Structure 1
Amino acid sequence: MDWLILFLSGVIGGVLNSIAGGGSFITFPALLFAGVPPIAANATNTFASCAGYISGAYALRHEIQSGTQQLKLVVGLCVIGGGIGAFLLLHTPEALFTQSVPWLLLFAALLFTFGGTLNKWLKKVTAKHKHATSAGAFFSAVLLLIVCVYGGYFNAGLGIVTLSYLALAGYTNINVMNGIKLLVSACASLAAIVFFVVNGSIDWPSGMAVLFGTLVGGYYSAKVSRRIPQQYVRTTVIIASFLITAYFFYAN
């Protein structure tokens, strides 16, 4: 029964990720409700989400290549940041991480809700500043590293955090931004997964159930996306994310 529930949560998460984002608000709590310990649930959710990042980045590979002239540097920073985040997670006491889960979910929920507004504001702020100086380039690199540390530590909300970083870095083409977002998410997640595998932190049966569900949901979401307005789906995700966050605050 748990396998079926996790598979269905993956299907829903895959559909949400394809239409409006926020699939981790379904898959991560589902893993917890299935009895997977919090740190293992987070590691497993990162594993289950990574296939979508990789396939999406491959689909937008031309946009990625046209959007950055320092691809090796970006990939390197993402791998280092994701590895650091995973290392920090694995050295966080289970009880402390359990207490932090509601706050991490709240942070991700707020980012998902107000991320669009934040990105618009950042684009206005950076419209006249392209960070061409050495100091600006260094700041941008450090910021990307921090984003990937977050992604390696807690995968939920990584897409919104990355888009905010890209807006601050001066990107304006949404297709390029989505491509780089997926590349960043894939590299940071893959680096984190290596640590999780070595540490034995991934619940493989649960992770495969969510992964297969995510692939099915993502595949069929094209038809769904034509029938359901994105704003309706987004509103539903926002409501669900805050309800789930409230539940975890109550449970703690």
Structure 2
Amino acid sequence: MYDLILLMGAAFAAGIVNTIAGGGTFLTFPALVLTGMPPILANATSAVAVFPGYLGGVVGFRAEIAQLDRRRLMLMTATALLGGMAGGLLLLVSSDAAFAAIVPFLLIGATAVFVWGDWLRAWLGRSARSVTPFGAVGLFLVSLYGGYFNGGLGIVLLALFTMWGMADIHQMNGLKNAMSFAVSAVSVAVFALAGLVAWPQALAMMVAATVGGYAGAPLSRLLPRAAVRAGIALAGFGTGAVFLWRLIA
């Protein structure tokens, strides 16, 4: 019962922060590991738990997404699906020991991108205009990362879109949710077929995350964005440090 309360609390908070700033995986993944779940199972279950929120984001930004060229959007979706599948399959062949060895660096790196994402996007916008717009290679690599480890996927996608030269933040957010949904859909399917999802925990967390996402809209008008980002940074860096200590201890 205490584990369930912890997981649903983490998922509810993840739904809120995903609505406000992104980074909910930095709460759900550590909570699952804290309950004693092996890292790979926790990663797959966390991906399932936050998955429904992306669809809501797609619906919310459907007008901005509709402004994109349909053929280009279909090609990008296909690329994201392939990358997400490759990442999901890569996780299947990873051992818990190998994943536990790399996860501290994934957590710390993704949290760093999350914390300094605005600065990174601004810097990329000034210095990386030569990157091919809507390039498949970059999107495939980011999607592969998202299929393997979902943490910070949205922030990395926004950085990629800035490299492409996109400037409309609302259209970027819509495209981010669309690509995140495609990546998560195929990776979640891979995890489910492989039996890597702890369904009782995942279903309870999905409900809590959905409620949290709904509550996040009014809370986003009350909570300072800086305070939310500081809390997520503390959770991400703290969890990464704990995993790193366990790795070298």
Short-chain TM bin: over 0.9
Deviations 1:11-48 (A, max 9, x none): 11111111122111111000111122111111111111
Q: What is the aligned-residue RMSD (CA, Å)?
A: 1.4
Aligned to 1:6: 7
Paired with 2:113 and 2:11, the residues of 1 have a C-alpha distance of 22
Question: Which stretches in structure 1 are left out of the alignment for 5+ residues?
Answer: none
1:1-252 aligned within 5 A:
1=1, 2-69=3-70, 70-126=72-128, 129=130, 136=132, 140-252=135-247
Deviations 1:89-126 (A, max 9, x none): 10111211111111111111111111111101111224
Paired with 2:182 and 2:238, the residues of 1 have a C-alpha distance of 31
Paired with 1:227 and 1:126, the residues of 2 have a C-alpha distance of 35
Paired with 2:48 and 2:93, the residues of 1 have a C-alpha distance of 19
Paired with 1:111 and 1:118, the residues of 2 have a C-alpha distance of 8
Paired with 1:114 and 1:228, the residues of 2 have a C-alpha distance of 20
Percent of aligned positions with the same letter in both sequences? 39
Deviations 1:128-187 (A, max 9, x none): x5x6xxxx35x8111101110000000001011100110011110000000000011000
Paired with 2:93 and 2:110, the residues of 1 have a C-alpha distance of 22
Paired with 2:199 and 2:233, the residues of 1 have a C-alpha distance of 29
Number of corresponding residues: 245
Deviations 1:32-85 (A, max 9, x none): 111221111111111111100111112111211213441110110011000000
Instruction: Please give the TM-score of this superposition, normalised by the length of structure 1.
Output: 0.93
Paired with 2:231 and 2:90, the residues of 1 have a C-alpha distance of 32
Question: Which stretches in structure 2 are left out of the alignment for 5+ residues?
Answer: none
Letter in 2 for 1:171: M
Instruction: Please give the TM-score of this superposition, normalised by the length of structure 2.
Output: 0.94
